[in-house]
Amino acid sequence: MRKDLLVLAAIIAVFLAIGVVAIASKSLPEESAKNFHTLSGNMTLDSQVKVIKEPAQGDNTFIYAVNDAAEEAYNIAKNDPQIKQIIDGTKGKAVTIAAVQPTLLTGSNGQQIHSSGGQVIITANWQLIDGKFYSDPASFDSLQGKQGESHQQIWNVLVDLDRRMVMDINVESERVLKETLQSNLMYEGMNVFLPDAVKISPGTTLKWSNESNVPHNVVGIFKTESGSQVPVDSDFIEHNRSWQYSFNEKGVFEYRCTIHSQEGMKGTIIVS
């Protein structure tokens, strides 16, 4: 038992040291984004990531866990009365629930090791057009000149896996992005796209403009009506910079910002 505690203490010490070095060397995710290419060999998706729930008609909720231990943290959190109340209050909104901790390590003996600290991030996103709830994709002909608002609320939930209970719930201040919508222009704010879903005609060129102070990207697969699947990767779009892409066929493009996926930063383009 004492040996296991010493190993766990060493692991925690290593993680703290890595964090200090990352801050000092400015190697945090947003700060190192320039060197990160999402569709190249520089990105490795953890094969342990598990999708627990996909969005469905009438329930736009996406739930995933980075590993089995993180999934257990989610299972503990979802049964907490306060968490149930939070989730009930997000109905009708686009919700992402990401179980991101604990990190799962494999020791030299092949056994998996993790801390008792779990973290679950609950994010609710919703948009308004001229003050009215916006959920069904519309064309820019009907959106142009109107006031668009993107709202985001985030809860950080800390879970003790050993005691099987929620230890703390931290509510972040609501984020709001307001812009006058322009034809064929997509705004990137603090972890949101505005508008997050639109309809366009084949041959349309869309532009994504980054209005926030951190980089974002546009990454996804354009599934055309003819059956082809076209990878799309904008690379990182810096503050006050833009990127554009032409959609020349009918189809659907579902995309996201890869470094802000856990906050539900995603969008849909319907080309019809």
* Residue among 164, 144, 162, 231 at smallest CA distance from 5: 162
For residues 13 and 46, membership in a common domain is answered with no
pLDDT at residue 43, rounded to an integer: 31
**pLDDT: which is higher, 174 or 42:** 174
* Mean predicted confidence (pLDDT) in 232-251: 95
For residues 24 and 95, membership in a common domain is answered with no
pLDDT greater than 50 at residue 20: no
pLDDT at residue 262, rounded to an integer: 83
- How far is CA 145 from each of CA 19, 20, 135, 185, 245, rounded to the nearest angstrom? 45, 46, 18, 11, 22
Q: Assign 3-class secondary structure to the chain.
A: CHHHHHHHHHHHHHHHHHHHHHHHCCCCCCCCHHHCCCCCCCCCCCCCCEEEECCECCECEEEEECCHHHHHHHHHHHCCHHHHHHHHCCCCCEEEEEEEECCCEECCCCCEECCCEEEEEEEEEEEEECCEEECCCEEHHHHCCCEEEEEEEEEEEEEECCCCEEEEEEECCCEEEEEECCCCEEEECCCCEECCEEEECCCEEEEEEECCCCCECCEEEEEECCCCEEEEECCCECCCCEEEEEECCCEEEEEECHHHHHHCCEEEEEEC
Distance CA 118, CA 96 (A): 17
pLDDT greater than 60 at residue 142: yes
* Mean predicted confidence (pLDDT) in 185-202: 95
What does R_g of the chain's alpha carbons equal in angstroms?
A: 20
For residues 24 and 127, membership in a common domain is answered with no
Inter-residue contact 230 to 208 (CB < 8 Å):
no
For residues 24 and 157, membership in a common domain is answered with no
For residues 13 and 54, membership in a common domain is answered with no
Domains contained in the chain, number:
2
For residues 8 and 93, membership in a common domain is answered with no
Q: What is the pLDDT of residues 41-94, one digit of tens each?
A: 333 333 478 999 998 888 899 999 999 999 999 999 999 999 999 999 999 999
For residues 15 and 86, membership in a common domain is answered with no
7 pLDDT band, cuts 50/70/90, is very low
Inter-residue contact 50 to 73 (CB < 8 Å):
no
pLDDT at residue 138, rounded to an integer: 96
pLDDT at residue 234, rounded to an integer: 95
For residues 91 and 198, membership in a common domain is answered with yes
For residues 158 and 188, membership in a common domain is answered with yes
For residues 12 and 119, membership in a common domain is answered with no
pTM value? 0.77
261 pLDDT band, cuts 50/70/90, is confident
Non-local (6+) Cβ contacts of 143 within 8 A are 129, 181, 195, 198
CATH number of domain containing 94 = 2.60.40.420
* Mean predicted confidence (pLDDT) in 13-22: 38
- What is the residue range of 70's domain? 32-271
pLDDT greater than 70 at residue 27: no
Q: What is the pLDDT of residues 154-168, one digit of tens each?
A: 999 999 999 999 999
For residues 42 and 125, membership in a common domain is answered with yes
For residues 201 and 251, membership in a common domain is answered with yes
Mean pLDDT of the chain: 84
pLDDT greater than 90 at residue 5: no
pLDDT at residue 55, rounded to an integer: 87
113 pLDDT band, cuts 50/70/90, is confident
